[in-house]
Copies of this chain bind each other. A is one copy, B any other.
Amino acid sequence: MALSGIRVVDLTRILAGPFCTMLLADMGADVIKIESPKGGDPVRDQGAIVNGFSWYFAQFNRNKRSVTLDLYSDEGKAVLADLIRRADVLVENYRPGVLAQMGFDEARLNELNPVLIVASINGYGSTGPQAERPSFDFVAQAMSGFMSLNGDPKGQPMRTGVPMADLIAGLYAAFGIVSALVSRGGPGTGQGQRVESSLMNGMISLLAYLSAQYFATGEVPSRAGNDHPVVCPYGLFNAADGDVAIAPSNDLTARRLFDAIELTHVLDDPDFATNDARLRNRERMNALVNEKIRQRPVDEWIAYLNEAGVPCGRVMDLSEVFSDPQVLAQEMVLDMVHPEAGTVRVTGFPVKLSTTPARLRLPAPSLGADNDAVFRELGYSPERVAALRHGNSLETK
């Protein structure tokens, strides 16, 4: 696998951090998830629980191993230090400064392991006037400008339906870590370094042409709902039995659409002849298209318009997505067998590598499932392994 042999010490919990380390684990890294012996990652108790196991936890913690350590104890910190000594990567999503307070500041980490890559995922970045504020997905969606652009123009600014800021921060961190691994392997380097991503910066980087438009013109973009800011017709149209998403992105595909729905004549009308004209008359244009689309059901339109070379699709709910032949052919639904919880279903791998593909090697672990194995790998004596079993620290406090 692509990241075989890369050892990751994972101090993250909840979503952004575990998503990052899941991406590394899916690619083959040995991710050791350090959890509190008192219940571990809070996500273990969230979402639907089946046979005592959270499927939300399973989704983001597959392919990892779980070790419990009391990081408030000297013994727990000593074990963490040993894990860090032989690791390639440490990932944490504490607030800036917390890891140092726990005794692992930059100097100490460098002393333990000068080639370590230390990745931090936080709310706002670790420098600047608001660095130490707590953040959450919803707050980052609001403060990044993202919500101001999402939703119906007549309604409220709207968060996305998925925890986008968390996921993006995790994905960027994974990209940064792997880039740092390339750098460390390059000629004349061999050095570790710090990698950082934040919920806020990740979301800002996705503002795409909307930020470019603001920078160039000074005009503040606002919500456009399902309308494309500069293309018409484009959007959701009402078929006889549901909605069709139709997205002709240029004049050629717009013409194909008009031909296909017998509206070719609008191109002779100065009100609709060009994209600019259609943008000015968007409501009338959409009404004309809807009048035609309304006459047939969704499935017929999808087949017919795709055949005519017009990009379109149905609005699918999750039951449709996860039974779709294309989605299944892409192996985007996977079953993993957990020793206690039985079969648990998760989503597949979004990046496909031909020679070293991502694989499901390990089910998401029960809390502390890998304590003994990992402590043995550290060379601890059978007595010490026994004493540490189930995450109980030796009575050194």
Contact = CB atoms under 8 A, between A and B. Distances in A.
- Using C-beta atoms within 8 Å of the partner chain, give the interface range for chain A: 35 or more
Interface in A278-308: 306
A222 B254 CA distance: 31
Nearest to A135: B311
Contacts of A47: 209, 212-213, 216
Interface in A243-295: 243, 245, 247, 249
A130 interface: yes
Contact of A352 (B164, B196, B247): B196
Interface of A: 1-6, 15, 23, 27, 46-50, 54-56, 58-60, 124-125, 127-131, 133-152, 155-164, 167-168, 171-176, 178-183, 185-187, 189, 191, 193-198, 200-202, 204-218, 220-226, 228, 230, 234-236, 243, 245, 247, 249, 306, 309, 311-322, 324-327, 329-330, 332, 344-356
7 contacts: A148-B316, A156-B225, A157-B236, A160-B164, A183-B356, A195-B354, A204-B327
B124 A330 contact: yes
Nearest to A106: B354
Contacts of A60: 208
Contacts of A220: 317-319
Nearest to A123: B311
B155 A205 contact: no
Contacts of A191: 355
Contacts of A313: 135, 139-140, 142-143
B206 A156 contact: no
Contacts of A168: 171, 350
